[in-house]
Each structure stands twice: as structure tokens, then as C-alpha cells.
Structure 1
Amino acid sequence: MDGGEVRALPAAAIEGRRLLYFDYVMAAFVTILLLSNVIGAGKVAVVGLPVIGDWPFGAGILFFPMAYVIGDVLTEVYGYARARRCIWAGFAALLFMAGMAWVVVALPPAAGWGGQAAYEAVFGQVPRIVLASIIAFWAGEFVNSYVLARMKVWTRGRHLWTRTIGSTIAGQGVDSLLFYPIAFYGVWDNDTLAIVLVTQWVLKVGWEAALTPVTYLVVGWLKRREGVDVYDEATDFTPFRTRV
């Protein structure tokens, strides 16, 4: 299908249908999720702001919200069931990445190799933070997908921006409410914990809102190419299954 008529269909109606771009969107979702956790999570960067001065931030915030954007695209175009499949794929990939990093770091280095300390600094993991990240991602993404799918039915497919931003407010809220207390309660004082939690949530939602024009373009292009617009009117919203 080269683009054209878009048919509004219940999710069950596209079972068995050949979807041209779903696999690519799923691959992009998992790739951004993994790279934002590996490359972006460990660095604290700084940006100079008028009046305030230097403001530190976790570099991963620049890219991790893109996983939520693609999650929105998956749910909006392909429906909750296929987004659920992608979330489980991302969850499995995170578990594998964490296990692989632990094994590789733990292996004794060769006598002539001097990179162990740097390797540990980059890929060494604090189990509590890894656990927090995986739990927060799983819960936040499912909340994000559920809210978007339900809002699409309620709004009859109108006003895409309301559900992309609304679902992110809910999903990123759950993500932050789980990640920071699990990872840092008792390590940071409660005031710092609350400030960082709220700040990161606001920044992630703001980043999602800024990317709304891009979301519109991608969603519109995919719907035209696939020829479908899926509505989750009779969907089983349980997260505990991977079959479509």
C-alpha cells in the first residue's frame, strides 16, 4: 500500500493483516530504550541558564522521552495490543542488557588490558537503580499506552495532542514516582528526592509536548501508509500477555 485511504477499524479487525512498518517502529522503540539507558543514564551534564546559572541535568532525559513518543505512535497507529508486545520486548531487552553488563564487568580482565576501571565506571551497575529503572519503565509505559488508547476512543480520534500529552503526564508520572523512591529513598534526603522527581517529570512532559509536531507527522504518515486507524473499543487491556 503506497498511502491513501485510512480506515478506522477496531483492533481485532487488523489481526493477521500485513503491516508494513510495525517491525521498524518496534525496533526503533527498543533501540532508543536501550541506548538511552546505556549512553545517557550515567552522565550528569550542565546547561547555562540566565539568572539561575549552571543547571545540572541527567543527559538521558534528552533521549529517554523519545521512547514514550514512539510508544504513543505505536498505540495510536497499531493499537494497545501491539504496543503491549513492544513493551514486553523492551522489558526483555533491558533485562538482557543488565545481565550482560553484570557478566562482562565481573569477568576477570587479562593481565595486559588496562581498561577494567574505565569499563566498570561506564557499565558497572548499582542493582537497586537497575531494578528501579526496569520496574518504572514497565509500569510507566503500560500506563502511557492504556491512557492513550482509552482517550482515543473517548475523543473519537480527534485532538491527538490531548492524548499524547495526557498519556505522557500519566505515564511519566508513574515512571518518576516509582523510579526515584526505589532507587534513591534513604540515599538522598526527602526534599532533594521530591525536587528531582518533580523536576524530571516536568522536563520529560515538556519534551514530549515540544515533540508534538513530529508525533503528528509520523502518526499521519504511518496511518496513510498502513491504511488503518486502530481503535481499542473491545480490547483486553491486561498487561500480562504478549500475544496480539
Structure 2
Amino acid sequence: MESQQSPKYYAFIGMLLVTLNTTSNIMAGRIIPAEVFGLNIILPGGIIAFPATFFLLDIVTEFYGYKNAKRLIWFNLICQGTFALLITLILSFKTSITPEKDAAFQSSLGTSLLIFVAFFSASLVADTFNCKLMAKWKTYTNGKHLWVRAFGSTALGELLFSVVWVSIYFFGTLPSSQMMTIILSQYVIKLLYEAFCLPLTYLAVYLLKKHETYQPIRYENFNPQA
């Protein structure tokens, strides 16, 4: 018989988090010009996948608790670091493919280590802040107003992530004015993304409460400082 405390979906959410972050990190350097509400904006390619990571961490924090969300953050960082180191190592070996093909590999994947440094710094600050703030607000609101807690903590967390990531990754390669444009552009998209995901957040938490064998964290017994 399966244990009542054995989570069915926690590992899957963690795998999905790693997948989304790996995708966004690989495509981060592919800058995409776009027009939103008549404004010309500049976006990193990872913007398509990355905002969903905050959506996942909000769900984990709400249902599994801050400690389990923080554990996923660290597991994800270890996976991203392993990926970056392996890619850097493999690219350092001589190859028998044509110089043109090797140049394509080097161009697309050669910055993996830099991307990880930027990601590690931003994630450690922003993801941890987002999850801890959401957990604290859950205590202060007696578990109510999920939409306020999810949107508010993500809005602040995404801002922190954007500032830290862009500042590190594009340092010395882009003028500060263009870096600011990228920060503001992707932040607007992230806020719109989060607003779109709010109904999905409610749905995901509802489904977890209905089908997950793990007992959800009760706010009155939860200490965000633990």
C-alpha cells in the first residue's frame, strides 16, 4: 500500500522545472525583437519558457511548503550547473566535424557557463525571495487570497531575477540603456504571463489537493523561517 505521505507529483514538477529552466538558459542569448501594445521591445529567447518556472514554484510553495520549494530550487541549480559544466567540457575537446559546424556549436552553447553564473545568482536571490515571501503572506492572510500572494510575490521575484540576470549576462557587451530596455521589456511580459497563469495556479492547487497523496502544508503549522 502506498504511503499517505509519499508525494506523487512533486518529482514530476521538479523535472518540469529543470526542463523549463534548461530550455530558457539555452535560448537566453537569442534576442527577439517584438511589438507589444505598439511598443518595440527586446526579449531574450528564454522568455517563452522561463516565466512558467515561477508558476511552478508558486504551486510548490502553496501546496508542499517553503522548505520543499527551496529544495527544488537547489536541485534545479545543481542540474543547471551540471549541464553547463558538461557542455563546456565537451566543447573543449577536438572534433572531426567541419569548422563551420563546430563554430555553430561554439556560438550557440559556448556561453553555457556564463549563463549558469547569471542564472545561479539570479535564481538564488529571486526564487528564494519569491517562495519565502509567498509563504509568509500565506501565514499573514490565514491561507486566503492566493491570487494576491502569487501575483505579488512573483512580481517582486521576477523583477529581482530580471535585474540580476541581465546585469551579469550582458555586462560589458551591451550599453546600460539597452540592458535597461531588456529588463523592462521582459518584466512586462512576465507580469502578463503571471496574470494569465493565475487561474491555472488555482486549478493546479485544486487538483493537487484532490489527487495528491501527500498532505498539503497547513499555514498555521508552517514556519517560513524553517
Q: Please give the TM-score of this superposition, normalised by the length of structure 2.
A: 0.87
Q: Distance in 2 between matches of 1:210 and 1:102?
A: 36
1:130 is aligned to 2:116: yes
1:26 is aligned to 2:2: no
Contact 2:132 2:224 in 1 (8 A): no
Q: Given the superposition, is the C-alpha separation of residues 183 and 58 from structure 1 closer, same or farther in structure 2, using an over 3 Å criterion?
A: closer
Q: How does 1:222-241 map to 2 (within 5 A)?
A: 222-226=208-212, 228-232=215-219, 233-235=221-223, 237=225
Q: Which stretch has the larger CA shift, 147-156 or 194-203?
A: 194-203
Letter in 2 for 1:42: G
Task: Flag structure 2 segments of 5+ consecutive residues without an equivalent.
Answer: none
Q: Which stretch has the larger CA shift, 222-231 or 25-34?
A: 222-231
The partner residue of 1:41 within 22, 28, 31 is 28
What's the CA shift for 1:234? Answer: 4.4
Letter in 2 for 1:63: A
Cα-to-partner distance string for 1:140-170 (whole Å, 9 max, x where unaligned):
1101110111111111111111111111112
Contact 1:76 1:149 in 2 (8 A): yes
**Match of 1:41, SS?**
coil
Contact 2:136 2:224 in 1 (8 A): no
Q: Distance in 2 between matches of 1:154 and 1:172?
A: 22
Q: Given the superposition, is the C-alpha separation of residues 75 and 121 from structure 1 closer, same or farther in structure 2, using an over 3 Å criterion?
A: same
Q: What RMSD in Å do the two structures reach over aligned CA positions?
A: 2.5
Q: Which residue of 2 aligns with 1:141?
A: 127
Cα-to-partner distance string for 1:113-157 (whole Å, 9 max, x where unaligned):
862111112211165443112210121110111011111111111
Q: Which residue of 2 aligns with 1:198?
A: 184
Q: Which stretch has the larger CA shift, 206-215 or 79-88?
A: 206-215
Q: Which residue of 2 aligns with 1:176?
A: 162
**Match of 1:211, SS?**
helix
Q: Which residue of 2 aligns with 1:8?
A: none
Letter in 2 for 1:145: C
Contact 1:81 1:235 in 2 (8 A): no
Q: Which stretch has the larger CA shift, 221-230 or 22-31?
A: 221-230
Q: Distance in 2 between matches of 1:49 and 1:236?
A: 38
What's the CA shift for 1:21? Answer: 1.5
Contact 2:42 2:182 in 1 (8 A): no
Q: Given the superposition, is the C-alpha separation of residues 187 and 42 from structure 1 closer, same or farther in structure 2, using an over 3 Å criterion?
A: closer
Q: Which residue of 2 aligns with 1:165?
A: 151
Contact 2:84 2:112 in 1 (8 A): no
Q: Which residue of 2 aligns with 1:90?
A: 76
Q: Given the superposition, is the C-alpha separation of residues 51 and 68 from structure 1 closer, same or farther in structure 2, using an over 3 Å criterion?
A: closer
Q: Given the superposition, is the C-alpha separation of residues 123 and 156 from structure 1 closer, same or farther in structure 2, using an over 3 Å criterion?
A: same
Higher normalized contact order (CA 8 Å, seq sep 6+, divided by chain length): 1
Cα-to-partner distance string for 1:180-233 (whole Å, 9 max, x where unaligned):
222234433232222322222222122111111111111110112226331354
Point out the structure with the larger helix share. Answer: 2
**Match of 2:223, SS?**
coil
**Match of 2:34, SS?**
strand
Q: Which residue of 2 aligns with 1:17?
A: 5
Q: Which residue of 1 aligns with 2:102?
A: 116
The partner residue of 1:61 within 35, 41, 47 is 47
Q: Distance in 2 between matches of 1:37 and 1:28?
A: 14
Q: Please give the TM-score of this superposition, normalised by the length of structure 1.
A: 0.81
Q: Distance in 1 between matches of 2:37 and 2:5?
A: 53
Pairs aligned (count): 223
Q: Which residue of 2 aligns with 1:12?
A: none
Task: Flag structure 1 segments of 5+ consecutive residues without an equivalent.
Answer: 2-15, 239-244
Letter in 2 for 1:66: A
Q: Distance in 2 between matches of 1:49 and 1:145?
A: 29
